[in-house]
Amino acid sequence: MLFYRDHLPPHFHAEHGDEAAEVSIDPIMILEGSLSRNVRAKVFEWAAIHQAELRANWELARGHQPLHSIEPLD
């Protein structure tokens, strides 16, 4: 998830069950919160595949523009 009025650095919010973390876009790393090893690996893999799209959506969010959909990890 990306939020329109979120703080720097560019990041997204990842949630899985009771786990939640803020993950920076570049470099891909957990800023706050925690994810289990397996969930973290999947989130980081997804973020690496879609890093350019995440950067673009961050800029759109900062400009209060509609975000583009990003495909989930298979």
The verdict on pTM exceeding 0.85 is yes
Angle 30-68-5 from CA coordinates, rounded to 5°: 55
How many CB atoms are located within 10 Å of the residue 49 CB?
Answer: 13
Confidence band of 43 (pLDDT split at 50, 70, 90): very high
User: Average pLDDT for residues 51-59, to the nearest whole number?
Assistant: 96
- What value does the CA radius of gyration of the chain take, rounded to a whole number of Å? 12
Domain locations along the chain: 11-62
